[in-house]
Amino acid sequence: MRFRVARPSEGPRSPAGMIVVMPTLTRSEAVERASLVDVEDYHVDLDLTGSGDTFRARTLVRFRARTGAATFLDFDPVEVVSMTLNGAALPPEASTGGRLELTGLAEANELVVDAHMRYSNDGEGLHRYTDPADGHTYLYQHLFINNAGRVLPSFDQPDMKAVFRVSVTAPEQWLVATNGALVSRDGGRWEFAPTKRISTYLASMIAGPYHVVTAEHDGIPLALYARAALAEHLDAQSAELFELTRQSLDRFHEMFRIRYPFGHYQQAFAPEFNFGAMEYPGLVVFRDEMIPRSAVTDSDRERRANVIAHEMAHMWFGDLVTMAWWDDLWLNESFAEYLGSRVTAEATRFTDAWTTFAMQRKAWGLRADQRPSTHPVAPARVGDTEEALLNFDGISYAKGAAVLKQLVAWLGDDAFLAGLNAHFEAHAYGNATLADLLGTLSKASGRDLSGWAELWLRQAQVNTLRTEVTRDGANYAEVAVLQTAPAEHPTLRPHRIGVGLYDRAADGSVVLRERLDVELEAVGRTVLTELAGKPAADLLLLNDGDLTYAKIRLDDDSAAAVPLLLPRLDDSLARAVIWAATLDAVVDGERPVAELVTLVLAALPVESETAVVEDVLRATRGLVDRYAGPESRPAALELLAQAADRLLAAVPPGDSRQLAAARGLIGATIDTARLRGWLAGENVPDGLAVDADLRWLILYRLAVLGVADAAEIDAARERDRSASGEQWAAVCHAARPDAAAKEAAWNAIVGDASLSNRLAERTASGFWQPEQLALLEPYVDRYFAEMPDMLRIRSGMSAEHIASVAYPSVAVSERTRQLAAALIDTPGLNQTLRRVVQDSDDDMRRALVARG
């Protein structure tokens, strides 16, 4: 029996087939289904040898149920060959609209389904990619949140764990890997061992002519996979990757009593992966940009190390013990974010990882927490999977991690780790909730954490801490810390902070005279009695050591001293706290962007931390593009270019900061002759390699400035037939100040369903340029008119990212805000697009305040 499956209208067909948007699963549906069904195992048999846009999936699902009950599985086939429940054929109409409805269940049930499923190009389901470098095809499986039904019929929710047994038939020259260990291979037939009990969103597979490097550590088989075109780069970087993996495993084994629980530890670097990485047990998948082909900075390498440690932390937080529903997402991501930075700092050569966290990750959390879409770290309720997807943001990751860092400082590390180990042992291979974790932490520490959780986890938004200083001559008469909260989120919180007193020594250096360890109660004003009568410091730094999660504001005297003292301050974490506070004050319109640029020119050329250099240049450039008006922006950019140029001249050849400075200079300069000279190999600083990716970055800037035409971009693409070259060419074409180029790019962004997720994202990222506002003016209206159509042909995280980067953020005007308000008020507007527009509009509100 073979039949087509009825489905609702989901938008236009593309050459690659119909875009699949899985139905939203509500929490109430999930609770009811879990009360009726207990899943035992899935046996999935995939045939990947056919031609066309589909693959064949034969699935056996064994589960127990309440006798006589009715339920559904998530399932969206192209064509069903057969479906049987307990030996009886199911009618074709049982499968419709992304679900397979079952009735009259027995106590023990076997569902057998044979169907043709569709490959995807959006990073969800079973994603298929053809490498332009050699024509090879690669697959990876990504079932995240609600996409398991795009590969197999399943009970797709985190609390319905099951054993997965996978068999795959693939072309003989391919390699296949899954969560489970390989049992046998006969030509193109691969059989894998059953997994431990895992959630459906964690079932993983890769297939294709992947290059592999293997190793072993402490009895755990290790493997690295990448496309054949990246084989030489994977081989060259494998020693570092394995070293980071071993160091992280050892540190987690020191902290946790349960050893790594999923057999082998494989890490695959896959093309066009939507996330930075995903924690599939036994087979972690990363985006393959993490196997760079060109020179990278130490900060780039540190970020990769952090991601490796982050995903490994998920083996315990998320995989061994999984949240029961998406309202406890923080149990996955906040802990992995915290432990990723901690393990990177403690176990690898990147000992300043907390500086990077303070500059980059924490700033991400603070920005997300102040937008209209803010939510608690642990929301009381997440209604459905669409809402859950939107919570994968800086709050669930970075804010949650910063809150945990504060909790560890309060409880003590021994009690914290004892509570975590008790949590793992109580819920191994099962599910848990916020209440479960708080219970074990409270028992281990002897402290009731319910009040702490209510303030830090259940309430949204952020506090601001600022110093209020009264002097008696050269001494402090009184120093107080003022804590405030936004009117719409008036929660005050307890904070444990360091207060650093820094003075300038006779030789010009800046020394820490004293650091106070201060406990702030959840009140508006706390007097630091210890400082009364003491000599006033040149710089009084709140949150020295970066223990708490809060916005920091310096007193006027300290703020005035920053340009003189910051370049001479040795403590990188203290510098990060100051930079973060300064940038945030500009974002809030409390300090002008011109003042920030002046500070960058004074302090950045002597900055020793690459992560600080990169983040200051990136954040300042973004603020200049939006906060500086058309009249002042060129001068601000010129100062930013000067700062990068001075750093470039100051650092030793080959220093990691050299590449960071070069990237910053290229992005800010309008000296096209100099950029052309670098492309020709002229006057290139000693030690700087103008390699493939740096050449593309230069060409991108030339395209923005209108001095690189389509023919030059196409010629560069011909010389670089790699995946990276393809993506860079898309960015450069979209960036050109040419009406036809903009029209082609816009149509690709909003209407071309055949374009892969990554190429659509990269095209969108190059489209809006502050230098081209007159040319781009018509597309401001078109964004608000046409972006809803894009959400009909794309879904998931890729759709959210495209909508965000395609937003007209550089068209700073009240009219843009009016268009945003009208779209937000549209009945039935896609929830993802509404959130993107609300948050982007809030950013524009801030830009208008700053310009005013």
Active site residue 311: yes
Q: For the residues of 511-529, what is the DSSP string, one character each?
A: EEEEEEEEEE-SSSEEE-G
Task: Write the single-letter amino acid at 693.
Answer: D
Dihedrals phi, psi of 175, to nearest 5 degrees:
-110, 140
3-class secondary structure, 331: helix
Q: How far apart are the first and last CA of the chain?
A: 69
Of 526, 517, 512, the closest CA to residue 468 belongs to 526
User: Strands 510-520 and 525-527: what pairing?
Assistant: unpaired
Tell me the two tokens of residue 116: 């043709």
542 contacts 469 by C-beta, under 8 angstroms: no
Q: Cβ atoms within 10 A of the Cβ of 692, count?
A: 19
Check 279, 289, 302, 311 and give the catalytic one: 311
As a whole number of Å, the CA-based R_g of the chain is: 27
3-class secondary structure, 176: strand
User: Strands 551-553 and 464-472: what pairing?
Assistant: parallel
Tell me the two tokens of residue 268: 């695959």
Of 53, 55, 129, the closest CA to residue 287 belongs to 129
Type and span of the H or E element at 325: none
Q: For the residues of 220-232, what is the DSSP string, one character each?
A: EEEEEEE-GGGHH
Alpha helices by DSSP H, listed for 552-671, are 556-565, 572-587, 593-603, 610-627, 633-650, 656-668
Task: Write the single-letter amino acid at 412.
Answer: G
Whole-angstrom Cα distance, residue 839 to residue 69?
44
Tell me the two tokens of residue 422: 């008790």
Q: For the residues of 441-457, what is the DSSP string, one character each?
A: HHHHHT---HHHHHHHT
Q: What does each C-alpha distance from 526 to 469, 529, 583 come to in angstroms? A: 12, 9, 25
β-pair partners for 717: none
Q: What's the order of all strands across the beta sheet hosting 125-130?
A: 125-130, 137-142, 205-208, 175-178
656 contacts 298 by C-beta, under 8 angstroms: yes
Burial 36-75 (b: 16+ CB within 10 A, else e): ebebebbbbbbbbeeeebbbbbbbbbbbebeeebebbbbb
74 contacts 146 by C-beta, under 8 angstroms: yes
Of 156, 259, 140, 147, the closest CA to residue 198 belongs to 156
Q: What does each C-alpha distance from 412 to 405, 409, 415, 419, 441 come to in angstroms? A: 10, 6, 6, 11, 11
Q: How many CA atoms lie within 13 A of 625 on its CB side?
A: 19
Type and span of the H or E element at 809: none
DSSP 368: H
Q: Quick one: CA torsion of 724, 729, 732, 733, rounded to 10 degrees?
A: -150
3-class secondary structure, 845: helix
Whole-angstrom Cα distance, residue 377 to residue 454?
10
Tell me the two tokens of residue 770: 């502050």
Type and span of the H or E element at 390: helix 385-390
What are the residue numbers of the active site? 311
